[in-house]
Amino acid sequence: MNILKSGIQKKCVAAALLCASVTSLPLYAETTANWWERWQDNQAFNEALDELGMSYQLLSEDPQKTLTRSADPTDVLYWQKRTMQIYGDADKDIYYIPAIEDHDEARARTGFTGRNPYFNTYYYGEQGDTFTLTTSSQPDDVVCYAGLENQYSGTITTKYQVQLNANHSTQYTLSENGLMLLACWDKSGTYSHMNTLVRVDVTSTTAKKHPLFVFGLNTKEEWKALSQQSTPTGQTLLFDGRSRYVVNNSTAKASLNTNVLQMLREQLSYVMDYDRVNGLDGSSYLHQPLRGLNFGIFNSCCWSQGGAGRIGIGFGNSLPTKTSWGHWHEYGHQNQMTWAWDGLTEVTNNIMSVSACRVLRGEVTDKSCHENLYYNNFSWDQQAVGSFLNSGETHQFDTDNDVFRKLMMFTQLKTSWPDLFAYIGKAYRETYNEGKGKSLVATNQQKIDFFVINASKAAGHDLREFFTRWGLGYSADADSQIAALKLPQPNKVTKTFTSSLNGSSPITIEVPAEDNTVNIAFVTNTPKAGPTSLVWVEDGETPLYAQVVDSRNRSFIVKLRGQNSHGGCNIHSVNTAVNCNSGTSAYLRVAYKAEDNPHLPQGSYTGVLHLIARDWHNTGWTANVNVDLSIVK
């Protein structure tokens, strides 16, 4: 077929596919810092940006900000840039392969399973086919391999792994029919090459091309063509930046109308969210996200294998446009940390699943996350721990076999303090310290004690009553350690105030003074959303932040403006407490301004702003304040 992109015409065989979007351009990664400029007129790249809620204009209007984001592994632009680097010159048989940690080192550092080091190439060969592979810019403490895969369901393994000569050529011969893949390992011991890409040239080969659909390099229209192809392997291959995927041709053909870009973007989005849940914020070596791949296998179900990132996610007869609990759950297994004690294998992975649901679907209250959340009275309560304590409920966590009921203990902590599990993840990695502190968190009792102590520290509250009511058996030593922290008890929530903000018209919520609460103001449960403590008389509007989602399951953070007043007195910041002689009720004002959100794409969005009402003097009183958001831009 003849393809015209950016004024450059190419002729390619249909099976190669990559030619459809990757034009023969110079290696811009080597000549310009602004990596996105190469792809300005590339339809596939712009479609991917749209899926990510961005645009080329957004990247180009502040190049330094884009470069900063692109260097941050907690930002999706880091992974999109890396994808374009890995495969952007593959039409010239040049690959840039990331250096990945060994599994054991990755597990010891992060506290969960390692990832797959192998990246697909665009080649399939038959037994006896040969490759000449040449590496360059390969550091001394990085080793690279070629491998072969020809099993496409179950626990797929990479066969015939042959080490490549560093900065020289290697002859690689296929011992069986199969796909040729490439991998590089960092052998520094300190993962000093976490951002290193090794150039590997396919100098010559007798093998033939095999299609690979890459997020950012292939378009929706190309999916319609690729999905209907019969490939040499009988499989269709995909890549989103954090995962590679395999699905048999028959399932791919049934997925003609799947929005595969949305599926890949959702996969990428929630995997990045799992890093945030676990505190992999890049702040130090210990807290760096893994750079290897998960391997999503749509040909079998439903499992997750530690060691090489392999996950069986074949839940239907076609690929989904929108991911769901099964995907989130199985990927959650790859990210559940070893701070968890025995009996939680099918519990703590679903901390991730709940978080993924919120990122992609918002704070839905029906059964659309999972019906068992609904039946266990799950809610997005910003003071769920206080609500639980007020309910009088008790449980027997240590002997309970209901995995969803046990999950509720963790979700109550997560919705009450959104950053709590990130704190615990970081504390665990620093305690375990790549195995040097293993003896401190080796037994079930040690892990339980570690969890309840650090949960209290993260929350800034004494959670002993909470864990006791849940029936979690922490030790007397843990009890003493928490008591020594002299933390306040969580407040018991008795009231919730609600309102709706539709468009740009501001709303006002009255919180009456009751029980001697005449100095009420409003805070959030995470500094990412707004102030977390009260102040005495502060002027001005307060920026508040809330997540919203659109109909495509894209999530955005919107900026709102908040103010607080008492009675008929002056308006102050949202977290201001003040004495007022002309009335005692607190009046919360919240507004959305389009000018505060210039990069929010055109569309309709829903979400919830969660605030917490507190009183300056009556510190034992609290109430929830929820503002349902419906924004059209």
Tell me, what's the pLDDT at 29?
Answer: 39
Cα 332 from Cα 324, distance rounded (Å): 12
What is the per-residue pLDDT across 92-121, written as a single tens digit (0 to 9) for each?
A: 999 999 999 988 999 999 999 989 999 999
Element (H, E) at 493: none
Domain ranges of the chain: 2-312, 338-485, 496-632
* Of 219, 216, 211, 222, the residue nearest 246 (C-alpha): 211
Residue 305 has pLDDT above 70, yes or no: yes
Quick one: CA torsion of 5, 10, 16, 18, rounded to 10 degrees?
-30
Cα 548 from Cα 317, distance rounded (Å): 31
**Cross-strand pairs, 286:** none
Q: State phi, psi for 460 to the nearest 5 degrees.
A: 70, 25
Cα 240 from Cα 80, distance rounded (Å): 8
Tell me the average pLDDT across 311-319.
97
What is the per-residue pLDDT across 493-540, written as a single tens digit (0 to 9) for each?
A: 989 999 999 988 899 999 998 877 889 999 999 999 999 999 999 999
Confidence tier at 32 by pLDDT (50, 70, 90): low
- Of the listed ranges 21-25, 173-177, 367-371, 542-546, the one predicted with least confidence: 21-25
Q: How buried is residue 375: exposed, middle or buried, by Cβ count under 10 Å (0-12/13-18/19+)?
A: exposed
Instruction: Give 338-485's CATH code, choosing from 1.10.390.30, 1.10.20.10, 3.60.20.10, 2.160.10.10.
Output: 1.10.390.30
- Of the listed ranges 22-31, 187-196, 213-222, the one predicted with least confidence: 22-31
pTM across the whole model:
0.94
Tell me, what's the pLDDT at 503?
Answer: 82
Cα 550 from Cα 247, distance rounded (Å): 28
What is the per-residue pLDDT across 161-197, written as a single tens digit (0 to 9) for each?
A: 999 999 999 999 999 999 999 999 999 999 999 999 9
Q: What is the DSSP letter of 293?
A: B
CATH second-level architecture of 496-632?
A: Sandwich (2.60)
* Of 5, 75, 69, the residue nearest 34 (C-alpha): 69
Confidence tier at 476 by pLDDT (50, 70, 90): very high
Question: Average pLDDT, whole number, for the chain?
Answer: 94
Helix axes 260-277, 420-432, angle to 10 degrees: 60
What is the β-pairing status of strands 169-173 and 555-566? unpaired
Angle among Cα 498, 537, 567 to the nearest 5 degrees reads 50
Cα 50 from Cα 572, distance rounded (Å): 39
* Of 243, 272, 281, 274, the residue nearest 429 (C-alpha): 281
What residues contact residue 211 under an 8 Å CB cut-off, 6+ apart? 15, 16, 17, 18, 122, 226, 229, 231, 236, 237
What is the per-residue pLDDT across 39-92, written as a single tens digit (0 to 9) for each?
A: 999 999 999 999 999 999 999 999 999 999 999 999 999 999 999 999 999 999
Tell me, what's the pLDDT at 9?
Answer: 29
Tell me, what's the pLDDT at 437?
Answer: 98
Tell me the average pLDDT across 600-608.
97
Residue 16 has pLDDT above 50, yes or no: no
Contact 612/626 with Cβ under 8 angstroms? no
Decide: helix, strand or coil at residue 316. coil
Element (H, E) at 285: none
Residue 279 has pLDDT above 60, yes or no: yes
Distances (CA, A) of 5 to 20, 24, 26, 38, 440: 8, 10, 15, 12, 59
Q: State phi, psi for 358 to the nearest 5 degrees.
A: -65, -45
Tell me, what's the pLDDT at 481?
Answer: 99
Decide: helix, strand or coil at residue 601. coil
Tell me, what's the pLDDT at 18?
Answer: 45
What is the β-pairing status of strands 604-615 and 586-592? unpaired
Tell me, what's the pLDDT at 26?
Answer: 34
> Considering all CA atoms of the chain, what is the largest pairwise distance in Å, rounded to the nearest integer?
90
Q: State phi, psi for 432 to the nearest 5 degrees.
A: -65, -40
What is the per-residue pLDDT across 398-452, written as a single tens digit (0 to 9) for each?
A: 999 999 999 999 999 999 999 999 999 999 999 999 999 999 999 999 999 999 9
* Of 74, 76, 99, 98, the residue nearest 87 (C-alpha): 98
* Of 417, 397, 589, 407, the residue nearest 487 (C-alpha): 417
Cα 612 from Cα 456, distance rounded (Å): 19
